[in-house]
Amino acid sequence: MCLLLLAVKSHPRYKLILAANRDEYYERPTAEATFWEGTPWLLAGRDLRAGGTWLGITTKGRIAAITNYRDPASVRDNTPSRGELVSKFLLGGESPTDYLEGLEQKGRDYNGFNLVFGEKQNLYWYSNRGDGGRSLGPGIYGLSNHLLDTPWPKVTRGKMGMTRLVSGGQEPRPEELFSLLMDRHIPDDESLPDTGVGLQWERVLSPLFIASPHYGTRSSTLILIDQDDRVTFIERTFDSDPDHPKTVKYQFQIEA
* CATH number reported for the structural domain that contains residue 70 in this entry: 3.60.60.10
**What is the structure's pLDDT at 242?**
72
Three-state helix/strand/coil letters over the chain:
CCEEEEEECCCCCEEEEEEEEEEEECCCCEEEEEEECCEEEEEEEEECCCCCCCEEEECCCEEEEEEECCCHHHCCCCCCCCHHHHHHHHHCCCCHHHHHHHHHHHHHHCCCEEEEEEECCEEEEEECCCCCCEEECCEEEEECCCCCCCCCHHHHHHHHHHHHHHHHHCCCCHHHHHHHHCCCCCCCHHHCCCCCCCHHHHHHHCCCCCECCCEEEEEEEEEEEECCCEEEEEEEECCCCCCCCEEEEEEEECCC
Tens of pLDDT, residue by residue over 170-205, are: 889 999 999 999 999 999 999 999 999 999 999 999
Phi, psi of 153 (to 5 degrees): -55, -40
Contact (Cβ atoms closer than 8 angstroms) between residue 5 and residue 19: yes
pLDDT at 131: 87
pLDDT at 243: 78
Which parts of the chain sit beneath pLDDT 50?
none
Q: How many domains does the chain have?
A: 1
Is residue 130 assigned to a domain?
yes
Classify residue 30: in a domain, yes or no: yes
* 256: in domain: no
In a domain, 41, yes or no: yes
pLDDT at residue 231, rounded to an integer: 98
Strand duo 215-226 + 139-143: pairing: unpaired
Domain, as residue range, for 233: 3-251
Within-domain flag for 20: yes
Position 245 in a domain? yes
pLDDT number for residue 240: 61
**What is the pLDDT, as a whole number, of residue 28?**
94
